[in-house]
Amino acid sequence: MTMAVGAAEAADAVKIGLLTTLSGDGAGLGVDTRDGFMLAVTEAGGMLGGVPVDVRVVDDARKPETAVQAADRLVSEDKVALMTGIVFSNLALAVVPRVTRDDVIYVSSNAGPSQLAGAGCHPNYFNAAYQNDNLHEATGAAVEQAGVKRMVLIAPNYPAGKDSLTGFKRYFKGEVVDEIYTKLGQLDYAAEIAKVRADKPDGVFIFLPGGMGINFVKQYDQAGLKGDIKLFGPAFSFDQDVLPAVGDAALGVINGAQWSLDLDNAANKAFVAGFEAAYDRLPSVYAMQGYEAAHIMGAGLKAAGGDVSKLDDLRAGMRKADFDSVRGEFRFGTNQHPVQDLYAREVVKDDKGRLVNRIVSKVFDDHVDAYAADCKMN
Amino acid sequence: MFALLIEQVLNGLQLGVMLFMIAAGLTLVFGVMGVLNLAHGALYMVGAFAAAFIAAETGSVVLGILVAMPVAALAGLLIERLVIARLYARDHLDQVLATFGIVLFANEMMRILFGPRPLFLNVPDFAAGTLEILPGVPYPVWRLVIILVGLVVAGGLALLIERSRLGMLIRAGAQNRRMVAALGVDIGRLYAVLFALGGLLAGLAGAVAGPVLAVQVGMGEPVLILAFVVIVIGGIGSVRGAFTGALVVGLADTLGRAYLPELARAVLPPAAADQIGAALASMTIYLLMALVLAIRPKGVFGGRD
Amino acid sequence: MAAIDPHSTARPPAALAPTATAPTGHAARGGHASIIVVLLLALAPLVASAAGADYLVALTTRIAIWGLAAASLQMLIGAAGLPSLGHGAFVGIGAYAVGVAFHHAQGMDGALGFLAGGGADDLLVTLPVAALAAALIALPIGAISLRTSGAYFIMITLAFSQMLYFVTVAFADYGGEDGLSLWSRNTAAGLDTGDAIVFHYICLGLLALWLALAHRIAGSRYGLVLAAARDDDRRLRALGRSPYGLRLAAFMAAAAVAGVAGALNANLIGFVSPTPLAWTTSGELMVMVVLGGAATPAGAVIGAAILVVLEEMLGRWTEHWAAILGPMLVLAAIFNRGGVLGSLSRIGGRLRGGGRR
């Protein structure tokens, strides 16, 4: 789908490719990303950084093949100068190296695979969200802070699953009683839950994105374990995009994130209110990241005076990231990934009875990802 | 240790009866009409969505489940009348093409109607919480309810097929479709009824699974593939085979996930054990299927009678 | 409960492939269609390139590649009466052969290093390797699946491809779900494969080669026995011949060609992932074959062209493309009997006033 928005008519509008998952499994995340990004554009009257922009929204259907083809078309046919939007790391790994080679600037609004943060970093690649390990590290630190000593870890049997457990263990220093790898897309977790009960740990860490997390959390609650063995995980299974579907089963779960609805700063309050007014639902982390990716692009466009051929100015402006972040302070590290605060959040009910997250504590100040040192940029 | 084994067997049983409810309709429709219906998983999804929608509107999960059954039956009937009825004389390929199209359409319609995010469906209040089935082993009441519903469905289907006039026609139709038609039975109506019955069972499965699983677009396809494995193992067309196959698959999958990783750790170096154990666990049912087919190419109950 | 045997019914024996029971002269017509298809695919990129639409060149290359994969499946479905719903797995294996070879050619390690050695990044090596890898994996799958037929065969092949999907998703040495990037296209004995037009003609050449071969096979003694087994298994057995070995050979050959298609596709998009092994790709391949016409390889290529172009156009138009494509497939199944080529030849027959068909 191609959709021209805002000042599309303006001949000098900067073309931006927003390639995200709008159909198939995971479409909800892509919709949030798009809506967050578009909110920033609409709020500024079709501009970013004072420069008119023409956003081309394209569906990647969560298939690497489709994503690559769509990206090639955005670059060669639509001649976009900037790109963003990919939700899933496997798609980002397929697309980002190709487009950055062609001097298109890619600002990731979610996926932050380690390959692109370390040795594979690139001057044209910025990550507005996090490095993938960050939320797992935050959860590990949160578990450590909560004084929980014995943990069972659960993740799907695929690379991101293994990375998540590595990230968690980087900051969790207690005993790992068991590591359970499940099938990708698994429906029933009764066998794993029975194992957890038999293992009698103090807590369980899950990285089960999408439907898998919904399945697990519901089943875990129904098995009556949530009261005895506390549940932890990164924000993915406990954010606004899935909480309504999980229901009260998610109440009380501690999860690691770089942002929360209740972060107390003016930009965040405006964002949450603006998003709710525009789309009649609360923003998720994905929506926030789309919104911030837009503002980071805006910072670059402003510095380049809207002339995208001034690639150095554009990149320098983005590296400075001079904008009011909804995360409070925001800056890029040497590998152009966020150096940011990370929080432990708890799922609670707000005064309208909706399930939301509330910050329990800050677990990291200005956290730098583990791969930044491997990045030999500049 | 023993209590854990009992619990895992029960978990396998529960997964098995759920698979049976889906596989039963698929195998009936195939056995009598010779139609391979890829859209059967879509009916399961429709059941889950209908239950979630009604439960959200009325606050009653039970009502949601009761409504889901006729809704899915109606959806099945529509598919039969509008599409499948025109394809009985054709080969499986045209049926695959048409029902593949229906899968695409049904998934996208659900997304258009209910949005891209998963829906919420909880266990009904009476079945919340756990029941101590063995000392120290609390078991979710809802899973016990699913087992009960599955067994009732199995018993009901057995009665229907063995004792009723419809069952007689089903058995006769499976043996020789044209003969039944020649005897003056309205074969078109029989097919429509069967398709609705298959839809009803799939819808019931989706609705009772909804409180345990994510109610989301595309939820039908993984389950459909499992149901295929079930009826291939059991023997296509045989409801008894579907029941046996479902229990075998449910138990093998659950016990594989429960014990294969530990087994792998006992014999392999730790680094490799987790990966290989998990990989083997996810392949258990397919390997089982290969084994059954190597011994009995038409499944356990196929080709008998 | 009654055990219902689907195989004991009075269903017509050739129920699986009525469109494939070709009258005399059909093979020749299929041959003409193949030539026309290849010529069109040969001209299209030149026109697109002249019109400045470089992007369309890649689209025609995709048609050639998926046409090759679909044509290989056509041999199973149309010629041998074996409706595989797991053919995408072999496309995926072929792609992984290229990916793994490239991975090792870059000096990186992996569990298959003992097989891959120093790796390879030339099509003259990777294509045969892709074909061989797919055929070898097809051997055990075919050996088990071919003990069955009809709908059993559909479901079993689907289940096996699903199993391979989970293996690749978890195989961390080669990226697992993250996949593998090919930083550059495989070389091909000095040709500039980076040039879109050159690469297109490589793909098209292989498609033409397979179409010619498929027609030769269909007309050969082997092809005739395969067709006889498709039409009446029992009679062939009564004559003292078991079709099992013949079918297994066909299954492996089709897998090998699908592997080549997968290897080409990996080079086209510069990326290897488990996606082709997921069941939807197998479903799409079967849709291509049935949509275009299962009776001839040319039909499969036409089906591939239709599906690739439709997905492209609808995908650009709306994110709800599936809500439009789905009903189109249903209508095609109901009204477009024998696929596009089947319908065309019916119309042709009527125009000639024959009414023979």
Question: A184 with A191: CB under 8 angstroms?
Answer: no
Partner residue opposite C10 with nearest CB, options B102, B112, B176: B176
| Yes or no, beta carbons of B237 and C332 under 8 Å apart | no
State residue C56 phi and psi, 5-degree precision. -70, -25
C-alpha B78/C-alpha B67 separation (Å) is 17
Residues in B closer than 8 angstroms to A236, CB to CB, are: none
| Yes or no, beta carbons of C319 and A59 under 8 Å apart | yes
Q: Find the radius of gyration of the CA atoms of chain C.
A: 20
Nearest-by-CA chain B residue for C325 = B101
The tokens for C280 are 């939807």
* Distance (Å) of CA A207 to CA A155, A158, C317: 5, 11, 35
The answer for C 139-168 residues in CB contact with B (under 8 A) is 144-145, 147-148, 150-152, 154-156, 158-160, 162-163, 166-167
Q: How far is C181 from chain A (nearest CA, A)?
A: 6
Please choose, from the candidates B21, B229, B221, the residue with its C-alpha nearest in 3D space to the C-alpha of residue B106. B221
Which CATH fold topology does C26-356 show? Answer: ABC transporter involved in vitamin B12 uptake, BtuC (1.10.3470)
Residue C328: Cβ-neighbour burial (10 angstroms; 0-12, 13-18, 19+)? middle
Q: Find the radius of gyration of the CA atoms of chain A.
A: 20
Please choose, from the candidates A180, A168, A291, the residue with its C-alpha nearest in 3D space to the C-alpha of residue A234. A168
Helix ranges restricted to H, A223-349:
243-246, 266-279, 285-303, 311-320
- The pLDDT assigned to A317 comes to 97
For B119-143, write each residue's pLDDT tens digit.
Answer: 999 999 999 999 998 887 889 999 9
> At CB < 8 Å, which residues of chain C contact A?
54-55, 58, 62, 166, 169-170, 172, 175-179, 181, 183, 265, 269-271, 273, 275-276, 315-322
Q: What is the pTM of this model?
A: 0.91
Please choose, from the candidates B16, B10, B14, B80, the residue with its C-alpha nearest in 3D space to the C-alpha of residue B227. B16
Nearest-by-CA chain B residue for C158 = B225
C29 pLDDT band, cuts 50/70/90, is low
Question: A202 with B197: CB under 8 angstroms?
Answer: no
Query: From the centroid of its chain, how far is CA B282?
Result: 19
Partner residue opposite C4 with nearest CB, options B86, B238, B297: B238
Helix then strand then coil, in percent of chain C rounded to 5, is 75, 0, 25
User: Which residues, in sequence order, are CB contacts of A312 under 8 Å at separation 6+?
Assistant: none
Question: C315 with C305: CB under 8 angstroms?
Answer: no
C-alpha C148/C-alpha C144 separation (Å) is 8
**Residue whose pair of structure tokens reads 């089935």 in the numeric block:** B133
- The pLDDT assigned to C25 comes to 45
| Yes or no, beta carbons of B31 and C6 under 8 Å apart | yes
| Yes or no, beta carbons of A181 and B129 under 8 Å apart | no
Question: A55 with A34: CB under 8 angstroms?
Answer: no
Choose, out of B96, B162, B178, B283, the residue to mutate when testing the contact with C (most C CBs < 10 Å). Answer: B96
Query: Longest C-alpha distance within chain B, in Å?
Result: 68
**Beta pairing partners, A203:** A151, A230
> Is residue C11 scored above 70 in pLDDT?
no
Residues in A closer than 8 angstroms to B284, CB to CB, are: none
**Beta pairing partners, A59:** A20
How many other β-carbons are positioned within 10 Å of the β-carbon of residue C221? 8
Burial readout B146-163 (b: 16 or more C-beta within 10 A, e: otherwise): bbebbeebbeebbebbee
The answer for A 135-164 residues in CB contact with B (under 8 A) is 157
C-alpha A83/C-alpha A102 separation (Å) is 12
A66 and C CB contact within 8 Å: yes
Question: B23 with B246: CB under 8 angstroms?
Answer: yes
Choose, out of A18, A31, A69, A122, the residue to mutate when testing the contact with C (most C CBs < 10 Å). Answer: A69
Burial readout A285-306 (b: 16 or more C-beta within 10 A, e: otherwise): bbbbbbbbbbbbbbbbbbbbeb
B45 and A CB contact within 8 Å: no
Partner residue opposite B123 with nearest CB, options A194, A222, A246: A222
B146 and A CB contact within 8 Å: no
C-alpha C285/C-alpha C307 separation (Å) is 9
* Distance (Å) of CA A18 to CA A3, A55, B280, C251: 10, 7, 39, 42
Q: How far is C283 from chain B (nearest CA, A)?
A: 7
Report the length, in residues, of chain B: 305
The tokens for B206 are 């989706």
pLDDT in tens, chain A (378 residues): 444 444 444 557 999 999 999 988 889 999 999 999 999 999 999 999 999 999 999 999 999 999 999 999 999 889 999 999 999 999 999 999 999 999 999 999 999 999 999 999 999 999 999 999 999 999 999 999 999 999 999 999 888 899 999 999 999 999 999 999 999 889 999 999 999 999 999 999 999 998 999 999 999 999 999 989 999 999 999 999 999 999 999 999 999 999 999 999 999 999 999 999 999 999 999 999 999 999 999 999 999 999 999 999 999 999 999 999 999 989 999 999 999 999 999 999 999 999 999 999 999 999 999 999 999 885
| Yes or no, beta carbons of C333 and B94 under 8 Å apart | yes
Question: C199 with C270: CB under 8 angstroms?
Answer: no
A223 and B CB contact within 8 Å: yes
Burial readout C157-193 (b: 16 or more C-beta within 10 A, e: otherwise): bbbbbbbbbbebbbbbebbbbbbbbbeebbbbeeeeb
**Beta pairing partners, A18:** A57, A84
| Yes or no, beta carbons of A183 and B278 under 8 Å apart | yes
